[in-house]
A and B are shown apart, each in its own frame.
Chain A
């Protein structure tokens, strides 16, 4: 069974840090690009970052560049995002997703998400 399970969310103060993890099973993790997306409360979806199969290429939405770092450990079938200098506007449910490069990039498998709340 294919599963993507996020963890690490919680309440953090503005300026703080948090590391999210996504454990994957049911497919060959190392052969796929992976991504983080987020959804602020009551709002739409936003792509945050993605990472190449071997971790050599990484891309970020402008609003998180320099603050977030995406990484992966193919030996552990796990995806991560280190989030620093968090702001109130980073409050969202963060989803881990498998990204497909065919047909101009899309996300065919999603986790259930983990909630990050940035508040004092």
Chain B
């Protein structure tokens, strides 16, 4: 059972907007620690998608955005494309575990 909670799956049609939620607690997201998001395409290593709640590394399209409020965070993907089909993971730091923690991952299906 993961410390951060994500929905197992989400789906959307090409061009649509989807959001993936990430729920934490007062020892991680709610304690003020930033949330980061990773994209894992099938059969590949994870890739940093969003860091520090809402910052995109160079090369990540602005279709991807992040937000955080209270003990939760969200990843939004607009203008959905077939190439966005992947697993998405949120990550933060937990001060009761003194370690980085991840969500269980969300599989995005583009219909």
Contact = CB atoms under 8 A, between A and B. Distances in A.
Interface string A5-47: 0000000000000000000000000000001000000001111
A5 B97 CA distance: 29
Given A44-B2, A59-B98, A103-B34, A108 B89 contact: no
Nearest to B47: A110
Contacts of B23: none
Interface in B67-111: 89, 91-93, 97-105
Is chain A's interface secondary structure helix, strand, loop, or mixed overall? strand
Given A47-B99, A102-B52, A95 B34 contact: no
Residue picked from A44, A59, A106, A109, most chain B C-beta under 10 Å? A106
Interface string A42-57: 0011110000000000
A112 B45 contact: yes
A87 interface: no
A59 B94 CA distance: 14
Contacts, number: 64
Interface residues of A, number: 22
B52 A103 contact: yes
A59 B51 contact: no
B89 A105 contact: no
Interface string B21-50: 000000000000110101000001111100
Contact of B48 (A46, A61, A106): A106
Interface of A: 35, 44-47, 59, 61-62, 95, 100, 102-113
